[in-house]
Every structure is written in C-alpha cells, then in structure tokens.
Structure 1
Amino acid sequence: MADYDTIGVDYANLRKPDPGIAEPIFAALGDARSVLNVGAGAGSYEPLDRDVTAVEPSAKMIRQRPPGSAPAIQGGAEALPFPDKHFDASMAILTIHHWTEKAKGLAEMRRVTRGPVVLLTFDPAHRGCWLTDYLPELVTLDEGQMPVMEDYARWMGPVSISQVLVPHDCSDGFLYAYWRRPRAYLDPRIRQGMSSFWKIEGADAALERLADDLESGAWEAKYGDLMGLDVLDTGYRLVVSVS
C-alpha cells in the first residue's frame, strides 16, 4: 500500500483535476445533493455545487486540501463512520488500489449510499500505453493491486463500466496521463505524484533507455502516430453501481 504520508508531497499541484475527466464523473453522480468522497486525497474531482464529505487516511493529504474544501475525516474505506444509506451518492477516484480490503471497502460504500457509487479506476487487463514497453513491471504491479472488472459486480451488484479517454494535455498527472508527452516521465518531480513509481524497482535503467530513444528518434519512429491523437484509451474506466 502506498504511504501518502510519504509520497504526498506537492500532490495537490501535480494532480489537478482535468475537466474532460471530471465531466463523466459528475454526470454519473446524477442529481445527488450529498456526496461521500472516499480516499479523497487533496480533493480532486469533488463537485463544488454539492454537499461533500471526504474520507482520507493520510494526514498529509488532508493538509493539502485547499481552503474552502469539503470537511475531511481521517479514515479508510473499510470502516466508514456513517449510518446506512446516509449519502445520495459516493465516489472514489483512482484510490481503490491503495485499499487494504477492497471488497470490504466497496461494500461499505454501497452500505452508506442510497444512489450511485461512482469509481474511477484502471482495468489491469488493458495494454494501451507504450510506457509498459519500457517498464513491464507496471503490468505486474497493476495485475496485483487492481481489481479486475468482473470484481465490481461481484462485490456491489450490477454495474456499468465505460472508458475514460485521457486527453493529450491532461492536467491530472496520474500514471498514463503523459502518453503524448513522453519527456514528462523523465522529470522526477512529475513522477513523484505517481504512486506506481514508488512501488517498482529498476525504473532508472528503463528511464535512461527512454531518454536515449527520445534523443535518437527511436521513440518517435515507433510511437510517433500518437502525436496525431487528441485522446487515447489508456485503460482508465468509470464504474458505476446504482442501488
């Protein structure tokens, strides 16, 4: 489990919500007025026009929440301190891979929510970003920490699952956000906001190879067609459970 009390330095600046990703999240929340955000971090993607309550285990992340943010309770998904059906909707954005007990956490979200449970997550079966050609360890990591898509229905009942396309200029610096900006992965400050780089070993050699390929033109020769795309499916999925 990533320790955001360690890796959460400057997280709020590195992980700014992207409007194109926020749109389907907000649409999935429907007309909910009260919203629970689990694994809320610094508050990315929290709707400003609703009554939001945040739950976040890391004190460092809570301290990075901007002034005026929704109130945050320090705690985890596995034991939510709320009565049954307390919220109109709940959300969890790129966080489930950090949970100790994923099934229990989702069951808790379903328990305290009357309406939709909205999750932004990653499909570990997807092979859609060139970065894994340099770092196949990322595939192994995701296969170990990410639920497969079938798990969500098994744990919460019927769900809808849809692609979340990542724009080429995505402002949210998650792992595959820089699919059209390969030099960004060479910047240690940018990598600091990606928990995966804290969990794998041997990244330095792979990044040196990436730097060499960018310099020689080998990267462009192999992946240059991506430069003509505005959005790409890099494996992110919106999972919505409706009670």
Structure 2
Amino acid sequence: MAVYDALGGTYGRTRRPDARIAARIHAALADAVDVIDVGAGTGSYEPPGTVLAVEPSEVMVGQRPPGTAPVVRAVAERLPVRDDAADAVMAVLTVHHWTDLETGLAELRRVARRRIVVLTWDQSIYRERFWLVREYVPQAAALDDSRAVPIERLAALLGGARQEIVPVPHDCADGFGAAYWRRPHAYLDPQVRAGISMLAQSGEDALAPGLAALADDLATGRWHERHADLLTLDAIDVGYRLLAADV
C-alpha cells in the first residue's frame, strides 16, 4: 500500500498550492515545454506544461482536481515512460517517501531531457530552527531523521544540483510541516496534522504529551513570550530547499 493510501484521505483540504512557492518551482523549470511530475499527489505545483503525473496512491489520485495532467499510478523507481520523455521532471516533497532513492533519482535522470527540479528540506536546519519539533514533538523529528535525504547527497545523486532557499511565508497556503510556524494553534487541529506526514505517521499517542504542552503554552501566553521574535517576521528559512540539476 502506498503511504498516502493510509494518510491522504483529507490531504486536499489543507495541502493547497502556495503561489509564492509555485513561482519558485516554475522559475526553476525554466523554459521547459513539457514536464512530468513524479510523486505528484494532488498536483498542487504542476505547471501548465505538465504532460504526465506519476503517483502511487489511489487516494491521492482521487483528489486531483478536474483539468490536471493525466495521471498514471506508478512509483518513482519504475517510471512507465521512455528515455528522454520530457524536457523536465519535477518532484515536490516526495523523495523521503521513496523506497530506493538512488534508483528513483536515476529514473528522473533517465526520463528528463534537460532538467530535474526537486523540492525537499535540510533536516539539520529544520530540527534546529523549527520550534514545533525542537520543543514539543521531537519524536516526529526523529522519524524524519531516519528518512530525510541530506541535501549534499541528493545534489550529488542528481549529478550536481544548484540549491535555492525556499522561505516559508507566515500565511503559507500549503499546510506542509513548517507551514504554520507563525500560526501555532493550527498544529492542534487533527485535520492539519493529517496532512503532515511526519505528524500523521508519528501517531496521536506519541504526539499527545507534546501537543498538550503546546496547548497549555498557548493558553497561558508562554508560547507567544518565547517566540515573540517570530511574530514580527513575514517569512523564515527553516530548511526547505529547491534543487535544480541539468542533465
């Protein structure tokens, strides 16, 4: 079973594209005429030139809006397309779910004629800068420690990739892990947590003590006192990185 067959039932409610992040992804794709989206999910960041989406989860495929690219159920490690099938291949917040990273990235390189674009995160920065995992749910960070791909390794496997910082805006529309860094109450919402794999896969029992502490700190104002500096910021760097490699 694909990961998101179990986790993705309400994904489309909280994981909507953020226009600022979309602009960065589309700029990295440059002038690609045709694009394949691997680990496509609901298709949030697919540019108009997307000719095919590859997604293993039936649950996620069922949430793709009308008018999105044609989709095939398959995995990154076995892309059902010919060599040099598209100008560019994109993979957004997905490589940590792959069962064989090297094979999956080799497949991206096989299929892309010109460019590969990957959105991911630097776990060491994420752990240090994101208050939720640092102070309240370190067990969720431990889960990602086991599967997050070091940026330098990922860049090397792509044959050399340029890195770009992707700041997270305070009102980010896409509810991924650190999206609510300035809206802490959101992490108390089960629906929000269901759309964040590190929280959903950690399990409610494991998260309960940390979430109870967060709820108490919000009720007493301790969170706002401790993180007053965050409340003045419009965006922060918590480790999200956009990699672009020419092939």
SS of corresponding position for 1:44: coil
Kindly provide the amino acid, as one letter, of the partner of residue 233 in structure 2: L
Structure 2, unaligned stretches of length 5 or more? Answer: none
Is the Cα contact below 8 Å between 2:141 and 2:198 reproduced in 1? Answer: no
Give 1:122's aligned residue: 121
Is the Cα contact below 8 Å between 2:86 and 2:111 reproduced in 1? Answer: yes
Kindly provide the amino acid, as one letter, of the partner of residue 40 in structure 1: A
Shift of 1:51: 3.7
Give 2:73's aligned residue: 74
SS of corresponding position for 2:191: helix
Most deviating of 147-156 and 168-177: 147-156
Deviations 1:92-148 (A, max 9, x none): 000111110111101100111011100000111112111011111232222211110
Shift of 1:68: 1.0
Give 2:29's aligned residue: 29
Give 2:219's aligned residue: 215
Please show how residues 81-230 of structure 1 align to structure 2 within 5 Å.
Answer: 81-126=80-125, 127-132=128-133, 133-201=135-203, 202-230=206-234
Name the CA distance, whole Å, in 2 between partners of 1:78 and 1:86. 16
Shift of 1:175: 0.8
Deviations 1:131-177 (A, max 9, x none): 01111123222221111011123312111011100000000000100
Name the CA distance, whole Å, in 2 between partners of 1:32 and 1:103. 24
Shift of 1:13: 2.0
Shift of 1:52: 2.5
Name the CA distance, whole Å, in 2 between partners of 1:51 and 1:216. 48
Name the CA distance, whole Å, in 1 between partners of 2:172 and 2:2. 23
Kindly provide the amino acid, as one letter, of the partner of residue 227 in structure 2: Y
Shift of 1:199: 2.0
Is the Cα contact below 8 Å between 2:37 and 2:50 reproduced in 1? Answer: no
Name the CA distance, whole Å, in 2 between partners of 1:10 and 1:139. 22
Name the CA distance, whole Å, in 2 between partners of 1:200 and 1:235. 21
Name the CA distance, whole Å, in 2 between partners of 1:204 and 1:37. 35
Shift of 1:198: 2.1
Shift of 1:188: 0.6
How much is the aligned-residue C-alpha RMSD, in angstroms? 1.2
Name the CA distance, whole Å, in 1 between partners of 2:33 and 2:228. 45
Kindly provide the amino acid, as one letter, of the partner of residue 178 in structure 1: Y
Give 2:12's aligned residue: 12
Deviations 1:55-76 (A, max 9, x none): 0000111111111110000000
Shift of 1:183: 0.2
Is the Cα contact below 8 Å between 1:2 and 1:195 reproduced in 2? Answer: no
Most deviating of 116-125 and 176-185: 116-125
Is the Cα contact below 8 Å between 2:87 and 2:115 reproduced in 1? Answer: yes
1:231 is the counterpart of 2:232: no
TM-score with structure 2 length normalisation? 0.95
Kindly provide the amino acid, as one letter, of the partner of residue 160 in structure 1: R
Is the Cα contact below 8 Å between 2:163 and 2:243 reproduced in 1? Answer: yes
Structure 1, unaligned stretches of length 5 or more? Answer: none
SS of corresponding position for 1:176: coil
SS of corresponding position for 1:145: coil
Is the Cα contact below 8 Å between 1:2 and 1:198 reproduced in 2? Answer: no
